[in-house]
């Protein structure tokens, strides 16, 4: 793993602790094959994510690409169980609640940050604001590293 990769992994570990999450993954855009892949993962129980690619509109991460903003699945969603079943990462990691955020480099989504919890929970408004603020602060550094890493 490169120095940039180690730094990204450390950033994800810090964010995981800050958000009390069980799982965090980062999928940078890979220029060579024109796809987003889960390259940096922490808190995973298996390696199934290494074989996943993100498709627009499929699962939580695909919704981020479609809408260009963060999305969540938790117990406040009336069709949360269906959403969990349609999200490959939630199924593979046995996540009960998750939120995904786009990481922009300039005006283009160059990465997706995924935060998941294995317990039944809801993302309270205050918690979402804290996560968003933390991600906003970290996204600048992450975006620079992603941009350098995938050039």
What token pair was written down for 44? 């995973």
Backbone φ and ψ for 111, nearest 5 degrees, come out as -165, 160
Q: What are phi and psi of 7, to 5 degrees?
A: -65, -40
CATH code of the domain containing 114: 3.30.450.40
In a domain, 24, yes or no: yes
Q: Is residue 96 part of a domain?
A: yes
Q: Is residue 41 part of a domain?
A: yes
Domain that holds residue 99: 3-146
Span 99-135, pLDDT tens digits: 998 888 778 888 899 999 999 888 777 777 777 776 6
pLDDT digits (tens, 9 = 90+) for 14-73: 888 888 899 999 988 877 788 899 988 999 999 999 889 888 888 899 999 999 998 999
Asked if residue 71 belongs to a domain, the reply is yes
Tell me, yes or no, whether 151 lies in a domain: no
Instruction: Domain count for the chain, please give it.
Output: 1
Torsion, CA 12, CA 87, CA 143, CA 66, rounded to 10: -160
β-strand partners of 24: 42, 115
């Amino acid at each position: 793993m490169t120095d940039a990769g180690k730094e990204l992994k450390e950033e994800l570990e810090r964010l995981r602790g800050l958000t009390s999450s069980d799982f965090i993954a980062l999928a940078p855009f890979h220029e060579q094959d024109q796809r987003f892949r889960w390259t940096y993962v922490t808190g995973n129980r298996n390696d199934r994510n290494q074989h996943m690619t993100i498709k627009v509109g499929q699962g939580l991460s695909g919704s981020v690409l479609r809408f260009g903003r963060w999305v969540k699945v938790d117990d406040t969603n009336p069709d949360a169980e269906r959403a969990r079943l349609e999200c490959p990462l939630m199924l593979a990691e046995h996540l009960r609640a998750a939120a995904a955020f786009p990481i922009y480099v300039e005006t283009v989504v160059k990465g997706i940050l995924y935060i998941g919890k294995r317990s039944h929970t809801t993302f309270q408004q205050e918690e979402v604001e804290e996560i968003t603020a933390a991600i906003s602060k970290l996204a600048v550094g992450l975006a620079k590293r992603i941009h350098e890493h995938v050039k």
